Every structure is written in structure tokens, then in C-alpha cells.
Amino acid sequence: MNEVQQHIVKTLKRNTIFSVILILSLAYFFYKGIWYLLLGSYVPFILIALILSLLVWSSRKSAKAFRIVIATWSILVLLWSTVRLLLSLTHQFIKPVPEGHVAGQVGVLGTIHSLLFLLGAIYLWKYRKRIFQY
């Protein structure tokens, strides 16, 4: 582990909430990527593998590069959760979809799920500069 990686690990250890949100969001999408891979769709797995590879690569390069990858990740999660919330609103108030799987994804629990990810993405975005100063 080089000096930059040691600095990043120390910084993540000091900022527990940031670390937990980052790890949980990455773990969730890694789990989903594996799940979709088993179902025959490899695109979600490739995307999360790319993000994880960028995190590892940037941690070797510099704290600034690592911060940029975290910013990119937070924007992607922010977009994902916003789209889910918009679909949920559409489902609830405009035209409900009769399919059970979709209803489960955009129902009350799906909306809470999306809100939690939205708040997590906002937190990652807001505190990335304060935590990873270069």
C-alpha cells in the first residue's frame, strides 16, 4: 500500500459515516450486479466493476483522483435514485403498472429505498471535498 492509499484509508477510518455510506452503496450495487449477472444481464456488473476498478486505480494515483471518482459515483447514485423516485411518482399518481415486480420496485418500500440512496448520494457529494482535501 503506497502513501496515498494509506492516507485515504486513514481518512476513511476517521469519517465513519462517509465510509459506511460509501461502502453500503458500493456493496448494494455489487450485489445487484452479481444478481443480474446470474439472470443473464452483464451490463450492471460491468458498470459496478468499472467503478470499483476506478476507485482502486485512483487510490493509487492521488487523493484528488479518488475524490473525483467518489464525486462521479455520488452523481450516478443521485441520478439512479432520482429516476426511481420519478418512476414511483408516475406509478402512484399518473398510471399504475399492473405488473407485480414493477409495483414492488416503485411502491412504498421502493420509494423509501430510493430516498435513502438519494440522501446517501447527497451526503457523499456534499462532504467529498471536506473529507478528501488534496
Q: Is the pLDDT of residue 133 over 90?
A: no
Provide the pLDDT for residue 134. 55
Provide the pLDDT for residue 98. 66
Q: What is the mean pLDDT of residues 76-87?
A: 93
- Go through 48-86 and write b for each residue having 16 or more CB atoms within 10 A of its CB, e for each that does not: beebbebbeebbeeebebbbbbbeebbeebbebbeebbe
Give the residue among 51, 60, 73, 91 at the shortest CA–CA distance from 128.
73
Provide the pLDDT for residue 2. 87
Q: What is the mean pLDDT of the chain?
A: 89
